[in-house]
Amino acid sequence: MSGMRRLNLRTFGKLLLMVAVMFGFGYAMVPFYKAFCEFVGINQLGDKSSGIVARNTQVDESRLITVEFDANARGPLTFAPAQSSMQVHPGQMATIRYEVANQQPHSVRAQAIPSYVPAVAASYFKKIECFCFTQQTLQAGEAKEFPVVFVIDANLPKDVKTITLSYTFFDLGKTPPNAAADDGKDGGGNG
């Protein structure tokens, strides 16, 4: 038995040594990687002394696209963009805010549907964040501000210089009384 125990202890010691060596190697890789990158001249974006400035190379700074914003409401809502237009470079991330208010004495559910002019722009207008992705619930008299974060694809045809993004906010009716109370947080369902 003592021979087997000695063998187990020796194996355990070798495994501990191996773990310590692997940890040390991983820890030492950071300065080795940094030294290698400095020597070869790569990956110096975070080094202010290198004079390299990080920028998004997918932004086409040779073009400016005017994006006009429009808002329509179907139902008891007021709905408007915070600004009527902006100019963006293709590939540049931009944000517009839309303001919506429920004019009713009860809560309502609503859904925004976008449309684009010219229609070809729809394929090149990429929304990263948008209130139009889901139904919205507005309490009685509540006003909200919703951002739309977007990028216009740099492959937008050269003849398109203006895009109109128009949203129509449709009132889907009163919020069911139990839906406002539960708000989907009853813990039941399929998880």
Considering the domain architecture, whether residues 128 and 71 belong to the same structural domain is answered as: yes
More confident: 57 or 190: 57
The tokens of 72 are what?
A: 């329509």
Distance of CA 21 to the CA centre of its chain: 41
Residue 180 has pLDDT above 50, yes or no: no
CA 176 – CA 152 distance, rounded (Å): 38
As beta bridge partners, residue 171 has 110
Sequence length of the chain is 191
State the CATH number of the domain containing residue 164: 2.60.370.10
Considering the domain architecture, whether residues 9 and 80 belong to the same structural domain is answered as: no
Summarize pLDDT for 72-91 with one digit per residue, the tens.
Answer: 887 778 899 999 999 999 99
Considering the domain architecture, whether residues 80 and 43 belong to the same structural domain is answered as: no
Q: Is the residue at 88 inside a domain?
A: yes
Mean pLDDT of 97-117: 90
Question: Closest by alpha carbon to 64, among 148, 162, 183?
Answer: 162
As beta bridge partners, residue 150 has 94, 127
Summarize pLDDT for 5-24 with one digit per residue, the tens.
Answer: 888 899 999 999 999 998 88
Please tell me the predicted confidence (pLDDT) of residue 117. 93
Considering the domain architecture, whether residues 79 and 119 belong to the same structural domain is answered as: yes
Q: Is the residue at 189 inside a domain?
A: no
Q: Is the residue at 73 inside a domain?
A: yes
Residues contacting 129, CB < 8 A, separation 6+: 147, 148, 149
Considering the domain architecture, whether residues 97 and 167 belong to the same structural domain is answered as: yes
Considering the domain architecture, whether residues 169 and 102 belong to the same structural domain is answered as: yes
**b/e burial code for range 62-74 (CB count within 10 A of at least 16 → b):** ebebebebebebe
- Total domains in the chain come to 2
Summarize pLDDT for 17-76 with one digit per residue, the tens.
Answer: 999 998 888 878 888 777 777 777 676 555 555 555 555 567 888 899 999 999 988 777
Q: Is the residue at 59 inside a domain?
A: no
Considering the domain architecture, whether residues 93 and 26 belong to the same structural domain is answered as: no
Considering the domain architecture, whether residues 88 and 145 belong to the same structural domain is answered as: yes
Considering the domain architecture, whether residues 42 and 9 belong to the same structural domain is answered as: yes
Containing structural domain, residue 29? 2-50
Distance of CA 149 to the CA centre of its chain: 7
CA 24 – CA 152 distance, rounded (Å): 47
Q: Is the residue at 186 inside a domain?
A: no
Summarize pLDDT for 128-147 with one digit per residue, the tens.
Answer: 999 888 888 989 889 999 99
What number of helices (H) and strands (E) belong to the chain? 2, 9
Considering the domain architecture, whether residues 92 and 143 belong to the same structural domain is answered as: yes
Question: Closest by alpha carbon to 130, among 144, 151, 146?
Answer: 146
Considering the domain architecture, whether residues 28 and 108 belong to the same structural domain is answered as: no
The tokens of 11 are what?
A: 């194996």
Considering the domain architecture, whether residues 14 and 74 belong to the same structural domain is answered as: no
Q: Is the pTM of this model over 0.85?
A: no
